[in-house]
Amino acid sequence: MTIAGYGVGAATGIVYLRGEYAYLLAFLESLLKERREAGLLGRNILGKQGFDFDIRIQLGAGAYICGEETALLSSCEGKRGDPKNRPPFPAQSGYLGRPTVINNVETFCCVARILENGPGWFSSIGTTTARAPSCTACPATAIGRACTSCLSAPRSATCSPWLAHRRPRRCRWAAPPGR
């Protein structure tokens, strides 16, 4: 999410955690704390002046409808999670009326591996009928489905949809303790 935040000029990322997955909250907060301590979140990330980005977790009430992006945005704003008619689309007017990028956590998980190994590598680990790999039996599946992420408060109104909607074949996340 930090890489995407840099790409679109966002200052804030929100991880929306559905209420029935509240047991993950402490685990996710500890991960964010580690990233802040390592200089990977906060002000001047990795020493890059002006790259200020942080992530907060928004605990939802557990409504399934908040999987729909406009309902999710309403819930993040403290309103009832009801879907809205489009246009405007979230990329034009989303969270608090600002352009907003919304993706599943699993999508963001792919970014580092794609940057490390290239898009050809990513396509090659899919199947002949589906070039994008799929995560089916790993702890991150529960996390990915429990969370939806959005980047808000971009510093510019221009957002580029450079993130593909793909999921990793192998997840490198550890399950939270006791799960």
Angstrom CA distances, 154 to 105, 107, 169, stand at 19, 19, 31
**Rounded distance between C-alpha atoms, residue 22 and residue 27, angstroms:** 10
Under 8 Å between Cβ of 45 and 39: yes
**Rounded distance between C-alpha atoms, residue 41 and residue 83, angstroms:** 31
Lowest model confidence (mean pLDDT) among 11-20, 66-75, 118-127:
118-127
Contacts with 89 (C-beta within 8 Å, 6 or more apart), sequence order: none
Spans of all domains in the chain: 2-104+147-154
Which of 133, 127, 121, 118 lies closest to 165 in space, CA to CA?
133
Q: What does the pLDDT read at residue 64? A: 79
Task: List, for residues 134-149, the tens digit of each pLDDT value.
Answer: 544 333 333 343 444 4
Q: What does the pLDDT read at residue 131? A: 67
Enter the tokens of residue 83. 């879907």
- Does domain 2-104+147-154 match CATH 3.40.50.11540? yes
Task: List, for residues 32-69, the tens digit of each pLDDT value.
Answer: 999 999 999 999 999 999 999 999 999 887 677 888 88
